Amino acid sequence: MKSVTLLSKMYELCITPLRGRPRVSNDNPYSESLFRTLKYCPQWPQDGFASLDTARAWVRGFMRRYNNEHRHSRIRFVTPAERHQGLDRQVLAQQHELYKRAKKKKPDRW
């Protein structure tokens, strides 16, 4: 008998190993992503929160800013609130017109 690594055995059996996240019953990548966003926010208190109410108030304020003020690059620099309310098309059209006027005004910049 000869010992082989698990990866070698998988290839030998024509099984392609997955590099993705394991599926478990309590796995929620969206909530984990949000938690990471919270933890790496510059305003996150270094010493933690004094009480549960303080933590809840901080998270409420963070979520209000995150959803209504922060412009997300993955949704073309509109806020999630604009996107969910269907206002993103109007905002993007206004941005497009602004860029067209700027390009006409200074074509050498573009």
| Model pLDDT, residue 52 | 96
Structure tokens at 71: 């412009």
The candidate with the shortest Cα–Cα distance to 92, out of 72, 62, 109, is 72
Predicted local distance difference test score (pLDDT) of residue 55? 94
- List the chain domain ranges: 55-110
- Residue 1 has a pLDDT of 56
Tens of pLDDT along the chain (110 residues)? 567 888 888 888 999 887 776 667 677 778 888 888 888 888 889 898 999 999 999 999 999 999 999 998 889 999 999 999 999 999 999 999 999 999 999 999 88
Q: Which pLDDT does position 63 carry in this prediction?
A: 92
